[in-house]
Structure 1
């Protein structure tokens, strides 16, 4: 099913409570825009909440003000005006409070899901899911206005929801089904038959919740998603200048206003509910606020009175999503593990991870963005996230480990972890970055006071087991009934003499008879409670380390795919490396070696190419001439055949040869030929003069030429390299067979850095009609088989084959690299095409055996279609026009080589059609300087001749 186009957001705002996180989260939004998750024109803003406890309502008002400021400035206004809201789709996401299972909050908690359709491969965070839901499921069709969404829940919304926005005004909330039992600890909406919200209950009584039950037996849960029309958003924005609501924004606080805490749902939206009276509204207090003093209550009453005046007349409606699901992300480790695993699943979930021994992973566990080396056991229902571990490590059921790397593995050896949460954190203390580690039990409650637990046992039992005392954890004036895990100073962040590791917490699981060393080291450390630790977490370092680990496992994945010759598309992964600024390691492994004859395709897949050696207009257009000279130098001449017109280069030192690997440097191919022929050793400590005199008693002159235009597509450079190597080896007194020469040219083209396959030298150096094949193996071995054809068929071919020089030189020097990138990315179309190329070669051989021109023409045209699929853009417009004109007169046609220009070869329906086709093309406008040439099969192949008169060969 096609995904809807989605909302073209004008502004996306992410609110956060820590000032030092603003730039970090701004970059994360920009990364998602580069991944194409967010429209390119969307304004992205990460905004700090004006106060730590401003509440969801205050954060919404402040974010709306910031959006209006930016849009007003972008529109050229010198003052903030709400007019800019009339044509804007604004999306506000609230980071909310800290999350005990992810240092970057619930928004950046990675989920055990992958998106194989995404153009860029990446970890999927809760933020990504919410962006997708809001952009493609809930948002489409909505008028301009403001969407607000919390990030503290997991949402699932079916496609094609079909929300009606006809005659809409006011605000609208999105509700999801939940059980009455679940609703006892949550918020629910009470609505009338038309969908208008009558009341909002939080932790309501059984009677209140029963009033909300729908015909399906479920209740509509408060989901954290709300939409404000432009009119309602303007009314809300207007409150930012009126005390005490001005204290919800940075402007009011900068002016000295006293902070006020507002709830989006139980302050701003509640005043719009139809059955709520003014008296009850002013007397109430939001659940976010808790029990405060009477002065705070009075201040809040003034804020609520202002909201009532502005928003009471705005209607509030509800959309119920019966097939959707909602799950609040609590601080319970058991619930977190349940949401990240698949209980009852037959196997583990391995997401963006590389695991050496997957058989050691238990059913229903999850491994997310990890590298696991060696024996790492993971029990059912456990989760590993952002870890690089090296076994032997044993993790039993009910565990969550995150943020650990190789350096911490030794602390895990010999342990059997069960029902614990172990996390590594990046912390910044007084400007210095370091690591800290926290350990809690799966069953522990962070906020349970008095009769709480730690490491799944009571505090009293923990104190007895470890020797730790209550005064180590809490201040003396903290009453026993007020002590909780959240405020316990358990976690070392700095040791006076060494770096910290997991062992500084893990000793508590099984205290050893060590004379109290572990306890003393723990007491000697500067320790913080969980709530004290939060402001010191370095979220930039955390996200950077996650990105590094993701691309580290991606490198392993790419290597495995390539070495195992798997047809798995890697382009999304390569895009990720480029767009997230991490191309180094990954792309280095991909930077080598084109169609089925071309390394690395030939190495990994094997190749088969059918080719003909031909003469053009009765001549062999490519050649080389070499001779020995007395001077210990290398004299190079690059064509034409007449030596006096050739470009001449003299190499007197090894420095003169250093540009042999720069293909466009003058004489680079000839220099590479001397190196590959073993005449010159470029890394030798001997000078060029010494090498030549010692081995040969003098130097060499090498002259190469080609009468074909540059970029002809006829394999000129490969055949030229073969001719040069053959001449040099002969004049050096060595005998080299043609098959060895084919492999030598492959080597030369790698040394020259042009790359390339073996089909050109097979086609040009071996005589007649033949097929070259290579198996998927190293070292590469090309085997050539002559194709037998019916008697007289070679002459028939000569009568029907023509070459047309299109007048277009292939300009795309990177065409080969583009094809190789597509191969390395394992694009399905390219991989399938490689299969088809080899298969069609074998079918074409049968057409030659039969001597069938129409069948050969059919394969020729099909071959051109395959080439275009392999290298999109290789068919210039003028060439397409020429081929269309010639189509009625030919059985088939194709550009030679990779395409893009050069020669077009034709198999004509009638014999000897050169003059006839010249007349046809002459009548066609816009073709440029083309020419038609006779072509015939060369049954001789590479030939060497001794020119005695010049003492050359």
Structure 2
């Protein structure tokens, strides 16, 4: 039984699970060494971007001029086979490597009159995303490769040969009949029902009733009376057996003269057409004498001998024509201005009368600069890429300036990968982002622009420099960061960051460390924006109204039900819709977070009892308030937010005299929490709210929960930890509530969800908190989410919309006294999308066991996840 089970497992893995199609090797042929160098740079970039779904990519130069498509294909197949043999450890050429290989040979074609890079690499005016989410320009090469990859996935192992002298586009899904995939076919060629007028400039297949090829006509008027003809597409599929036979020709004279073997043995080159020599030899019913002895122009003895060998090897082949549903087709000859206009009209459906009208859509550099034709081919490719990158930078600038909800990482990733060929490309991108960051006088987009620089640096490190999250207080960046904190010196700060960055570009480790400092720079602007709207919601301080009594405050913790993460700055201030549903709960009948403050007439300064920490100067409080990893930092940040001590105070005595009688010279603060650190129940924010409430009460300040909500958000900005507003809203405001951030009024709005006592009792009797025993690193999770938000990662933006909408749905059910089980399940799924890996395996297993056993309706980790409590 075990053996059978194992067999079924491996069978399902091997056969039932469809694996993404991948070429074994893609080979691009070029006519000469100059073209090879230029094309190699281009295709290597596209391969790294994921546009070429292949294990390997090589560029093969024809061994001599005028080989023709057949000669170039045979030489390419020889070189490809040698590469595969070497890769697999063979010391001699062996055809066995073809048995399990999918190989594409793509001919890069001729130069195009107005773009020397050729029609294959002409930019078609739009872009596409690879499966890796990287943007690449949509060229004929990329379009054809995508269609060929989809087509080849319908066939078994073998060799594919494709030309680039024509543009063709399949409409809808690519479908292949079972008759076409019949493994008995020796060859499969591809065609489509084309307008008969194209027969005068292209090839037409002659087919029998079974769609077998019986001949080829070229540039003929014989089909003028027909409506449609089976036009030749320069696409061929050779199953392994046929490919092996084709490969064997490399050692047969005079066909060996098509390969570098023959050339290196001193033989002159031989021109061979893939269609009129090879395919025609394999056509059904072709007469030997007609094929071997007749040709245009007249054949010499060597060519006739070559044709005889081809006929002998392939005349018994079964060559089948497969019809594709081609919606658009264009042949790039003759390569003149009229041809370019015709191509544009066909490819887009937008009619243009002259090439000047299309120059902004497809890139035809020779139209604008006649000297382009005199440039080296490598320089022409570079010019094409520069045109594309400049267009992308314009788009990046518009997205940042208008703060569009648009993902920029695909562009950044592509340009960084182009840096492998030219380091100036990512440097130009970095320079551009700094200019955008500094150009806006209000600096409203500076945070996203600087965060984009951090993303670029992270990409340049190629994941070899460590984790993106880490310390960001290196003395080398400190002067620049200080300048950014002052509104009058922001431009100087951006320039200082840029100047310092030049010292951090040489190693992956330094790139990552620099990226952390750029994220810290972006956080400065987030803190400034949060501070501005929070200060508007603080209570009015009344001097000399403090008292001498001991103050005690306690607070509930919060259970998040839906919408978490939409409360997190800067997301909450920039996203269109925020909504959080949570509730305040006691633990075992007790509010778990407490604070007690004793005013002192004998001990000066601020004494924190649990930490045995004495703060005697304002400088100590200021210095500790932004170091969240050090004990006492939360209390120091809360003291600053309360207004008890200000940055301009020269002594604590001066600060205390503003609020208390002269005999109060210090305070003693005691805090208590029955919850463990990293519980996920919002403990640190709720502790800050509790300390703040106690301080304001001691100071004689009149305040409400709205003041608390905003002041705690301010405290977290002082701490530099970030964090959202749902914790303090959930704990400080009792009961069940739904809360939003209003972009219009720039404030947190909370609405109580009224429900009857029976529903409340049901929740109290059924809700169970289980401590997982693992603390979570909320700050690291938060940094990753904010990072993804700044880059507008589409997975994050979609999930945030889902979170907010789901919270609204949960609130509607609660108003009807129905606990939103399905909505909570969706909330937990969305939380795990926001922070992948935040659910420990043992927690997942525990939830599953509890569900299978029938003990629970729903379970979810508290807060951001990663540990803490399980509801």
In the superposition, the TM-score normalised over structure 1's length comes to 0.63
More helix by share: 2
CA distance in 2, matches of 1:133, 1:533: 32
1:599 is the counterpart of 2:569: yes
- Which residue matches 1:311? 313
Indicate which of 178, 181, 191 corresponds to 1:175: 191
1:346-385 deviation digits (Å, cap 9, x = unpaired): xxx8xxxxxxxxxxxxxx65xxxxxxxxxxxxxx637xxx
TM-fit CA distance, 1:97: 0.6
Which of 759, 773, 784 in structure 1 is aligned with 2:726? Answer: 759
Residues 792-847 of structure 1, C-alpha deviation per residue, up to 9 Å, x if partnerless?
Answer: 98677655544322334335754445555676334475255234333135315524
Aligned to 2:181: 165
For residue 272 of structure 2, what is the aligned residue in structure 1?
Answer: 262
Q: Deviations over 1:205-246 (max 9, x none)?
A: x34x58xx9xx8422222111122333333332333455544
**Take 1:252 and 1:299, find their aligned partners in 2: how far apart are those partners?**
17
Question: CA distance change for structure 1 residues 892 and 263 in 2, over 3 Å: closer, same or farther?
Answer: closer
Q: Which of the numbers 805, 812, 815 marks the counterpart of 1:843?
A: 812
> Are 2:205 and 1:189 equivalent residues in the alignment?
yes
Where in structure 2 are the equivalents of 1:306-385 lying within 5 Å? 307-308=309-310, 311-313=313-315, 315=317, 317-321=319-323, 323-325=325-327, 326-330=329-333, 331-341=335-345, 365=350, 381=352
Q: Is the 8 A contact 1:26 1:45 kept in 2?
A: yes
Q: CA deviation at 1:786?
A: 4.4
Query: Quick check: 1:93–1:148 contact (8 Å CA) kept in 2?
Result: yes
State the Cα RMSD in Å: 4.7
* Structure 2 equivalent of residue 467 of structure 1: none
Q: Give the conservation status (yes or no) of the 8 Å contact 1:558–1:570.
A: no
1:236 to 243, 246, 260: 246
> Post-superposition shift, 1:64?
0.6
Report whether the alignment pairs 1:608 with 2:579: yes
C-alpha distance after superposition, 1:570-610 (max 9, x if no partner): 88778767877769658835977763323344322343334
Query: Residues 614 and 764 of structure 1 are in contact (CA less than 8 Å); yes or no, is this contact kept in structure 2?
Result: yes
Aligned with 2:706 (options 739, 763, 778): 739
Secondary structure of the structure 1 residue equivalent to 2:579: strand
* 1:708 shift after superposition: 1.6
The residue that corresponds to 2:106 in the other structure is: 93
> Helix, strand or coil for the counterpart of 2:167?
strand
Alpha-carbon distance, 1:735 to partner:
6.3
CA contact (8 A) 1:609 1:841 kept: no
- Partner of residue 622 from structure 1, selected from 582, 587, 593: 593
Which position in structure 1 is the counterpart of 2:512? none
Distance 2:124 2:288 in 1: 43
C-alpha offsets along residues 753-782 of structure 1, whole Å, 9 cap, x if unaligned? 43322110112233x215353344156301
Q: Aligned-pair distance for 1:624? A: 5.1
8 Å CA contact 2:188–2:322 kept in 1: the answer is no
Deviations 1:694-714 (A, max 9, x none): 767999987655442222111
Residue aligning to 2:33 = 19
Distance 1:659 1:73, change over 3 A: farther
Residues in 2 aligned to 1:636 and 1:280: alpha-carbon distance in whole angstroms: 106
Please list the CA deviations of residues 666-716 of structure 1 after superposition, one character each: whole Å capped at 9, or x if unmatched.
55545554665678888xxx9xx9576876799998765544222211101
Residue by residue over 1:303-349, the C-alpha shift from the partner in whole angstroms, topping out at 9 and shown as x without a partner, is: 73575376344525131416435431232434433443479xxxxx8
CA contact 2:799–2:830 (8 Å) conserved in 1: no
1:14 Cα deviation from its structure 2 partner: 1.5
Deviates more, 1:334-343 or 1:895-904: 334-343
> What secondary structure does 2:769 align onto?
strand
* 1:833 corresponding residue in structure 2: 802
Distance 2:759 2:324 in 1: 73
Give the secondary structure class of the aligned counterpart of 2:76. Answer: helix
In structure 2, the CA distance between the partners of 1:729 and 1:87, relative to structure 1 (3 Å rule), is: same
Pairing 1:68–2:34 present:
no
Q: Report deviation, 1:273.
A: 3.6
Output the CA distance in 2 between the equivalents of 1:701 and 1:802: 36
Is the counterpart of residue 272 in structure 1 residue 282 in structure 2? yes
CA distance in 1, matches of 2:655, 2:76: 79
Q: CA deviation at 1:658?
A: 6.9
How far does the alpha carbon of each residue in 1:491-510 deviate from its partner, in whole angstroms, 9 at most, with x for none?
Answer: 346xxxxxxxxxxxxxxxxx
Distance in 1 between residues matched to 2:182 and 2:825, nearest whole Å: 55
Residue aligning to 1:50 = 63
Separation in 1, partners of 2:342, 2:736: 63
After superposition, where does 1:539-554 map in structure 2 within 5 Å?
Answer: 539-547=381-389, 549-550=391-392, 552-554=394-396
Confirm or deny that 1:719 pairs with 2:681: no
Q: Is the 8 A contact 2:157 2:240 kept in 1?
A: yes
SS at match of 1:65: helix
Within the candidate set 897, 900, 909, 2:866 is matched to 900
Change in Cα spacing, 1:402 to 1:102, as seen in structure 2 (3 Å) is: farther
- How do residues 458-857 of structure 1 correspond to structure 2 at under 5 angstroms? 491-492=370-371, 530=373, 532-533=374-375, 535=377, 537-547=379-389, 549-550=391-392, 552-554=394-396, 556-557=398-399, 560=402, 563=404, 588=451, 595-603=565-573, 604-623=575-594, 643=610, 646=611, 663-664=628-629, 669-670=634-635, 672-673=637-638, 706-726=673-693, 737-766=704-733, 768-769=734-735, 771=737, 773-777=739-743, 780-788=746-754, 790=756, 801-810=767-776, 814-817=780-783, 819=785, 824-827=792-795, 830-847=799-816, 852=817, 855=819
Distance of aligned partners of 1:856 and 1:256 in 2 relative to their CA distance in 1, 3 Å threshold: closer
Q: Counterpart in 2 of 1:407?
A: none
- Which residue, 358, 361, 375 being the options, matches 1:400? 358
Pick closer, same or farther for the CA change 1:884–1:69 going to 2, 3 Å: closer
Residue 225 (structure 1) aligned with residue 235 (structure 2): yes
Equivalent-residue separation in structure 2 for 1:632 and 1:791 (angstroms): 49
TM normalised by structure 2 equals 0.68
SS at match of 1:616: coil
- Deviation for aligned residue 1:74: 1.4
Structure 1 residue 249: Cα displacement? 3.0
Return the alpha-carbon distance in structure 2 between the equivalents of residues 575 and 631 of structure 1.
62
Mapped contact 2:185–2:320 kept (Cα < 8 A): no
Residue 865 to residue 317, structure 1, CA distance change in 2 (3 Å): closer
Q: In structure 1, what is the equivalent of residue 166 of structure 2?
A: 153
Q: Deviation per CA, 1:74-133, whole angstroms, max 9, x where unpaired?
A: 121112222222222211111111123444322223336676896635443222222232
Corresponding residue of 1:199 = 215
Instruction: Output the CA distance in 1 between the equivalents of 2:208 and 2:836.
Output: 59
Q: Is the 8 A contact 1:571 1:822 kept in 2?
A: no
Partner-residue secondary structure (3-state), 1:227: strand
* Worse overlay, 257-266 or 80-89: 257-266
Partner of 2:478: none
Q: Name the residue aligned to 1:125.
A: 139
Distance change in 2, residues 1:672/1:551 (3 Å): farther
CA distance, structure 1, for counterparts of residue 604 and residue 292 of structure 2 = 99
- Residues in 2 aligned to 1:556 and 1:680: alpha-carbon distance in whole angstroms: 43
Structure 2 residue aligned with 1:945: none
Does structure 2 conserve the Cα–Cα contact (< 8 Å) formed by 1:596 and 1:605? no
Structure 1 contact 401–423 (Cα < 8 Å) conserved: yes
Report deviation, 1:149. Answer: 0.4
